[in-house]
């Protein structure tokens, strides 16, 4: 178990370091919306922030919406740790423990943003990523006038995203033709969560093998019946 714990801990730590270093680099050096090609024109770095869940999905505009999402992340991470320990004690496959670790690392990476980024970086309420209609928090944005902006503080920060695919479906494909293959902008943490979930889904038969029922064949029954008759 100690060896498995060490392997998973190293993987989780590397993912968290890569995730946070990249986020800090992007947030410190890129302007909002600025992009940089990585592989040709189809895969780019583009700096955005999201106030909600993975891949930029939102949850709501009220303070309790964001707080509930962050608390849910804390509970989910705690449950993952507890489940991981239980599975490790059972002696399950290292691969399964790594898959759980990937989900844990991704969830923790995004939670760190929400917990500390409002304190670690200057907060500009007028930046477009911080606008939130319906929040009830009004900020004076000069030329743009009074604007509703998000709540700030512990567990209230935005999550930094940066990876984007600039690819579209061929026009001849029904319904999808011309639309983006994957329009969401994501980060290392999102990729880690997705990889872990997909790995568990694809390999679930290996991770959760069904117990084979012991079938009694006619040949096995016959000797037992004969021995019973002889004893009588």
**Which of 38, 28, 34 is CA-nearest to residue 46?**
34
pLDDT digits (tens, 9 = 90+) for 79-129: 999 999 999 999 899 999 999 999 999 999 999 999 999 999 999 999 989
Q: Which helix (H) or strand (E) holds 189?
A: helix 188-202
pLDDT digits (tens, 9 = 90+) for 154-191: 999 999 999 999 888 888 888 888 888 888 899 999 99
SS3 37: strand
Count of domains forming the chain: 1
Domain that holds residue 215: 2-231
Question: Which residues fall within 8 angstroms of residue 116, CB to CB, at 6 or more apart?
Answer: 157
Question: Which residues fall within 8 angstroms of residue 224, CB to CB, at 6 or more apart?
Answer: none
State residue 229's pLDDT score.
52
- Residue 56 confidence (pLDDT) above 90: no
Question: Which residues fall within 8 angstroms of residue 27, CB to CB, at 6 or more apart?
Answer: 47, 117, 121, 160
Of all residues in the chain, the percent with pLDDT exceeding 90 is 56
């Amino acid at each position: 178990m100690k060896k498995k714990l060490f392997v998973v801990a190293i993987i989780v730590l590397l993912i968290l370091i890569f995730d946070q270093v990249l986020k800090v680099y992007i947030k410190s050096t890129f302007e909002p919306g600025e992009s940089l090609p990585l592989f040709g024109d189809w895969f780019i770095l583009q700096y955005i922030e999201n106030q909600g869940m993975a891949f930029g999905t939102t949850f709501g505009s009220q303070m309790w919406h964001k707080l509930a999402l962050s608390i849910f992340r804390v509970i989910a991470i705690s449950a993952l740790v507890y489940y991981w320990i239980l599975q490790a004690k059972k002696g399950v496959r290292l691969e399964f423990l790594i898959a759980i670790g990937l989900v844990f690392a991704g969830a923790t990476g995004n939670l760190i943003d929400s917990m500390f980024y409002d304190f670690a970086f200057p907060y500009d309420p007028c930046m477009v990523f911080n606008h939130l209609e319906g929040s009830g928090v009004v900020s004076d944005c000069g030329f743009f006038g009074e604007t509703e902006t998000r709540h700030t503080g512990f567990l209230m920060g935005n999550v930094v995203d940066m990876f984007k695919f600039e690819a579209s479906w061929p026009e001849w494909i029904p319904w999808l033709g011309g639309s983006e293959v994957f329009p969401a902008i994501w980060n290392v943490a999102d990729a880690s969560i997705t990889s872990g979930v997909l790995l568990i889904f694809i390999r679930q038969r290996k991770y959760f093998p069904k117990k084979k029922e012991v079938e009694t064949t006619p040949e096995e029954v016959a000797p037992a019946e004969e021995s019973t008759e002889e004893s009588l």
